Amino acid sequence: MSDRETATELPPHILIFPVPLQGHVNSMLNLAELLCLSGLHVTILLSDYTHNRLLRHASLQSRFSRHSGFRVATISDGLPADHPRVGERILDLALSLKEKGGSEFRRLMESTDGLSDGGARRRVSCLIMDGVLSFTTSVVEEMGIPYMYFRTISACAFWPFFCIQEIMDAGEIPFKGKNEDTLTYWKKKEMDMMVTSVPGMEKVLRRRDIPRFFGVTNADDPAFQTMKTDTKKTVEACGLILNTFEDLEEPILDEIRKHIPNLYSIGPLHALLKARLELEGMESSPNHSSSFWEEDRSCIAWLDSQPTCSVIYVSFGSITTLTREELLEFWYGLVNSGHRFLWVIRPDSIVGNYSRNGKEIPVELEEGTKSRGCMVGWVPQQEVLAHPATGAFFTHSGWNSTLESIAIGLPMVCWAYFADQTTNSRFVSEVWKIGMDMKDTCDRIIVEKMVKDVMDVRRDEFLGGLIVWQCCRGRRSLKGDLLT
């Protein structure tokens, strides 16, 4: 620290750098706000693209206007503006950042004297960054800035990521032959074999539950390599923050601590932030969206007119895409279940075209939706989950969605799409016992059965599982039969 900084006693200045995707940005903004509440100066580094989305659809400025120590800085993610940044194409983002992010980050840090705002703030005192952003480390090391990782995934997904080399050495990945046989590949018996090379998970993790990337059939795949090497580099940082809590993931956290002793489990961050804001007498989130898409609040009015716990909320997050065939399987399953449903279909989530008004959509789906359903482009999810009419969550098992569901006490049906989701969904069904895992199936009969099970037949069983985690966290917001 310079004399000038010591003299003025400026607070430490934390730079937070999320992967520029919705789920990552949500968790990191929560951390940013918590650090602001502790009196620190915080800069969040966003991609230009992400920042523009937040300016258009979120209320970033009003949310952070009450924290004078908060700033936003931006860099390019290196992709053209019209790149879709969803589905399989998301891997382009990781590769583009890896290729161009280092020089962008160096330029930013050097041209602003470590984001010191002309002396109004200290130069960055600590960097807290996401995974796959290790291109920053040479810059901060040169500038003498310590860094920590904040991986926005669960401990149970981080740990197999960390052990990728060991899983490969055991011959359990990469999955051979997937590209030749995409339709039947996941039905192979060998996908149900237990993974032997991830300590502490021998009894739960099958090959099909390993965190997954599109079409990885060879170990040289660049995105796969980045994931592998970057995760191992976590040991070089001052510490690791995870958005989880000890009671939920203690055995796995203990395994990780053998390699990374400075491990901070500080989640669920959204709940922690809410509690902290309440303590400070500040208004919390519903009016403070960080959405990349415009929230359609008509769904709240629709929920208001539905009976208590009668609606299954369906959302596959911000990255998942569905083929038309998958869309129809889910749609038939939901309609045939006879239950009410609120379904988020993002404008960019269907591969190819589908028409709701044209001939392509069977009339029985249109009718079933009109009488019992509501389909919108994006919702204020935490408000939807907390709504008395919402009874269960049909989710892609993104970690934010999973934690939000656990925190509010909603049982889940899981349809994992990729990455950490395949492991989260396994833990939801087999370890935490708070829902069901549809893993590697997409069939209207299974969807129908799972919706009936989670809303009715097996509901008490899952609520029982949720009580355990709610009690551990000392909360009493459980939905369903326990809702008072």
Give the residue numbers annotated as catalytic, written as ranges. Answer: 24, 130
Please provide the DSSP assignment of 257-305 as one string. HTT-S-EEE---HHHHHHHHHHHTT---GGG----SS---THHHHHHHT
Position 369 contacts ligand UDP (CB under 6 A)? no
Amino acid at 190: E
Q: Which residue is nearest to ligand UDP (CB)?
A: 398
Footprint of ligand UDP on 62-91 (CB under 6 A): none
DSSP secondary structure, 393-417, as one string: EEE---HHHHHHHHHHT--EEE---
Task: Please give the residues from 398 up to 427 whose contact with ligand UDP meets the rule CB under 6 A.
Answer: 398-401, 404
Q: Which is nearer to ligand UDP, 259 or 276 (CB)?
A: 276
Quote the CA–CA distance of 235 and 230 in Å, as a whole number: 10
Cα–Cα distance between 14 and 42 in angstroms, integer?
A: 5
Q: In the complex, what is the shortest distance from the CB of residue 23 to ligand UDP, in angstroms, rounded to a whole number?
A: 2
On the 0-12 / 13-18 / 19+ scale of CB atoms within 10 A, 100 is middle
In the bound state with ligand UDP, the residue whose beta carbon lies nearer, of 153 and 210, is 153
Which positions from 304 through 323 interact with ligand UDP, judged by CB under 6 A?
A: 315, 317-319
Considering the complex, state which of residue 134 and residue 400 has its C-beta at the smaller distance from ligand UDP: 400
Q: What is the rounded CA–CA span in Å between residue 402 and residue 409? A: 10
Tell which positions 261-300 bind ligand UDP, by CB under 6 A: 291
Instruction: Please give the size of the binding site for ligand UDP, defined by CB under 6 A.
Output: 19
Between 237 and 342, CB nearer to ligand UDP: 342
Nearer residue to ligand UDP within complex by CB, 130 or 404? 404
Give CA–CA dist 469/384, Å, rounded.
21
Two structure tokens written together for 202:
């021998």
Supply the minimum distance, in Å, between the C-beta of residue 19 and ligand UDP.
9
Burial (CB count within 10 angstroms: exposed 0-12, middle 13-18, buried 19+), residue 106 = middle
Q: How far is the CB of 330 from ligand UDP (least distance, A)?
A: 15
Answer yes or no whether residue 197 interacts with ligand UDP by CB under 6 A. no
Q: Which of 49, 64, 378, 394 binds ligand UDP (CB under 6 A)?
A: 378
Taking a C-beta distance cutoff of 8 angstroms, is the pair 211, 157 a contact?
yes
CB of 395 to ligand UDP, least distance (A): 7
Q: Which is nearer to ligand UDP, 226 or 291 (CB)?
A: 291
| 3-state percent helix, strand, coil for the chain, nearest multiple of 5 | 50, 15, 40
Please report how the helices 269-279 and 22-37 are oriented relative to each other, as an axis angle in degrees rounded to 10. 30
344 binds ligand UDP (CB under 6 A): yes
Q: Interface with ligand UDP by CB under 6 A: which range of 18-26, 41-49, 205-213, 273-281? A: 18-26
- Per CB under 6 A, the list member of 13, 22, 415, 423 interacting with ligand UDP is 22
Asked whether 347 and 267 are in contact (CB, 8 A), the reply is: no
The residues that touch ligand UDP, with contacts defined as CB under 6 A, are 21-23, 26, 291, 315, 317-319, 344, 378-379, 381-382, 398-401, 404
